[in-house]
Structure 1
Amino acid sequence: MCVVFLVVERTRSMLLGLGIVLGFASIGFLCWLLFLCAVYAAPLFVAAMVCTILYDHGVLSGAHAILAGIAAGIVVLATGQAILASSRDPALRVAVSVQLALPAALAGFGTTLGFCGMGDMSAMPAYLFATFGALCVGGAAWTRLCAIQSA
């Protein structure tokens, strides 16, 4: 009886440790994915808005609105990358980079605020962490956009 109890307690503590490790690993994976995909926040936002507007106003049906939204997102992504790749004007490059990096910063703010909400954090520290997350994600998107060299 005592041996069974010790085995159960040992298994329970191992599973608790495994849960903590996997929890940290999954949050780390989600943060890595956020930083990797931050550049695509603006085209995704445009695609979602076009799809929503076309569907809500009855212009297109569901599948057609989704296809139109995807096409709009592709146009925004291709246009932004083409401008960054072909322009040598620093003011134009900064303007396009800012337009593409701001939605990434907003996505970083929302994601970090969501991560803070998973714990038991009060409002002020949560918003401070979320602001720091927005700066980090926006900065990462800005860095990746500035790495596109002009031809």
Structure 2
Amino acid sequence: MIIFGPLLVTVGIGFFCWLLFMLAVFALPLFVGLTIGAWAFHTGAGVLGGIAMGLVAGGATFGVGQLALALVPWVWLRLLIILIYVAPATVAGYSATHGIAQMAMSSPIWQTILAVFGAIAVSITAFVRFIGMAMPGSAGQGLARG
């Protein structure tokens, strides 16, 4: 039993880190969806109305970002759009890594250092994923030219 405890903790931390990396792209739509959903709930829309408004707002935020990346012809404006979506992912990466570091060690200096490294890693991952979304697909272009 003493062997399984640390193993399960390591697997759990690894799972949450993987989940953080996969969901970092959706930090801004999640934030917008939660904010609009909470606002709708507190203005009298009820639980289902708040959930519906939050889902619509989060989906619209992600859709507007994808549409903007697809339609904007200037590289500098695409980079700005990507940075707008990567900034909340960086904050989420810092907060999540800092929370994990607080459980693992007691030194606040090392907690902050690990949190900064986690924020950098999450922001690079989100940036690379958004760059992949912003690049035009080459699958259909070869058929049109040939």
TM-score by length of 2: 0.87
Which whole-Å CA distance do the structure 1 matches of 2:129 and 2:70 have between them? 13
In structure 2, give the amino acid aligned to 1:55. F
8 Å contact from structure 2 (residues 33, 54) kept in 1: yes
8 Å contact from structure 1 (residues 105, 134) kept in 2: yes
Which whole-Å CA distance do the structure 1 matches of 2:56 and 2:30 have between them? 11
TM-score by length of 1: 0.84
The answer for the alignment partner of 1:6 in structure 2 is none
The answer for the alignment partner of 2:58 in structure 1 is 73
Structure with larger Rg: 1
The answer for the alignment partner of 1:108 in structure 2 is 93
% of aligned pairs identical?
31
RMSD: 1.4
8 Å contact from structure 1 (residues 84, 150) kept in 2: no
8 Å contact from structure 2 (residues 37, 54) kept in 1: yes
In structure 2, give the amino acid aligned to 1:106. V
| Aligned residues between the structures | 136
Q: CA deviation at 1:59?
A: 4.3
Structure 1: stretches of 5+ with no match in the other structure: 1-14
The answer for the alignment partner of 2:144 in structure 1 is none
Paired residue for 2:67, among 76, 82, 88? 82
In structure 2, give the amino acid aligned to 1:121. S
Structure 2: stretches of 5+ with no match in the other structure: 138-146
The answer for the alignment partner of 2:141 in structure 1 is none
Q: CA deviation at 1:86?
A: 2.9
The answer for the alignment partner of 1:43 in structure 2 is 29
Deviations 1:78-103 (A, max 9, x none): 11112112323111111110111111
In structure 1, give the amino acid aligned to 2:58. G
Alignment of 1:108-147 (within 5 A): 108-147=93-132
